[in-house]
Structure 1
């Protein structure tokens, strides 16, 4: 159980960090290119979210194969674990995107 929880937390923070780091560096690049940084940061945050999830779960299609093969064989527990890893990575990426929205728009949801 400790290994599972550790992997969930790691997936969360890896996805969160990919979104946050990529977006902040995209903002720096926008400043260097004389573009409005907040506009670019909001765009990058949305575009990088799926890649943050992929990076967090391992960057390959293997987790999807694990889900499929275990469900076909009737083993639910390993499939649920893989799904939970993806869910935690998604939550991390979404929280990173939400934080960027708060930073760029001053905390409003519009």
Structure 2
């Protein structure tokens, strides 16, 4: 059970990181093709993709939030805490991706 928790936490982080980085790279290529400033567009895309990266990492639906509510109302606070850790992990992955993009392009 504990191994599954850590595996899910790491996957959430890396999925969110990958969504931001992949979207920014492909968006930068698109900006270059359409004759925009790729670096400016990439920073904007990183900020805009943050929330979508989190949603993709935690499952793409409201199941995580619903599970969070059910576990709190059911008195299973340890499961609610696990869901909260998954959400925080996804946020940290998306934020790390944004910081990495800013650092790479010095924006």
TM-score range, shorter chain: over 0.9
Which secondary structure does the structure 1 equivalent of 2:36 belong to? coil
Cα offset for 1:6?
A: 0.2
Which secondary structure does the structure 1 equivalent of 2:61 belong to? coil
Normalised by the length of structure 2, the TM-score is 0.97
Which secondary structure does the structure 2 equivalent of 1:27 belong to? helix
Deviations 1:40-82 (A, max 9, x none): 0000000000000000000000000111111111110111111
Structure 2 gap segments, 5+ residues each? none
Alignment of 1:1-110 (within 5 A): 1-105=2-106
Partners of 1:26 and 1:54 in 2: CA distance: 19
Partners of 1:45 and 1:88 in 2: CA distance: 17
Cα offset for 1:105?
A: 1.4
Partners of 2:75 and 2:59 in 1: CA distance: 24
Calculate the aligned-residue CA RMSD, in Å: 0.8
Deviations 1:63-104 (A, max 9, x none): 001111111111101111111001001000000000000112
Q: Deviation above 3 Å: which 4+ runs of structure 1?
A: none
